[in-house]
Amino acid sequence: MKVLVAVKRVVDYNVKVRVKADNSGVDLANVKMSMNPFCEIAVEEAVRLKEKGVATEIVVVSIGPSTAQEQLRTALALGADRAILVESAEDLTSLAVAKLLKAVVDKEQPQLVILGKQAIDSDNNQTGQMLAALSGYGQGTFASKVEVSGDTVAVTREIDGGAQTVSLKLPAIVTTDLRLNEPRYASLPNIMKAKKKPLETLTPDALGVSTASTNNTLKVEAPAARSAGIKVKSVAELVEKLKNEAKVI
CA-based nearest residue to 115, from 185, 14, 204, 46: 46
Identified binder of other proteins from the candidate list 2, 48, 145, 179, rule CB under 8 A: 179
Identified binder of other proteins from the candidate list 17, 31, 192, 206, rule CB under 8 A: 17
CB-based burial, 208-218: b 16+ in 10 Å, e otherwise: ebebeeeeeee
Residue 31 contacts other proteins per CB under 8 A: no
Cβ atoms within 10 A of the Cβ of 248, count?
7
C-alpha span between 208 and 206 (Å, rounded): 5
Q: How far is the CB of 174 from other proteins (least distance, A)?
A: 12
Whose Cβ is closer to other proteins: residue 76's or residue 139's?
139
Residue pair 19/222 in contact (Cβ under 8 Å)? The answer is yes
Q: How far is the CB of 78 from other proteins (least distance, A)?
A: 21
Residue 104 contacts other proteins per CB under 8 A: no
Residue 197 contacts other proteins per CB under 8 A: no
Residue 29 contacts other proteins per CB under 8 A: no
Identified binder of other proteins from the candidate list 57, 81, 108, 158, rule CB under 8 A: 158
Residue pair 99/88 in contact (Cβ under 8 Å)? The answer is no
* Binding span for other proteins by CB under 8 A among 44-52, 57-65, 188-196, 216-224: 216-224
C-alpha span between 78 and 70 (Å, rounded): 12
Whose Cβ is closer to other proteins: residue 7's or residue 76's?
7
> Residue 130, SS3?
helix
Residue 232 contacts other proteins per CB under 8 A: yes
Residue 12 contacts other proteins per CB under 8 A: no
Q: Annotate 30-48 with three-state secondary structure.
A: CCCEEECHHHHHHHHHHHH
Residue 95 contacts other proteins per CB under 8 A: yes
* Binding span for other proteins by CB under 8 A among 1-9, 66-74, 129-137, 187-195: 129-137
Identified binder of other proteins from the candidate list 56, 66, 149, 167, rule CB under 8 A: 167
Cβ atoms within 10 A of the Cβ of 11, count?
19
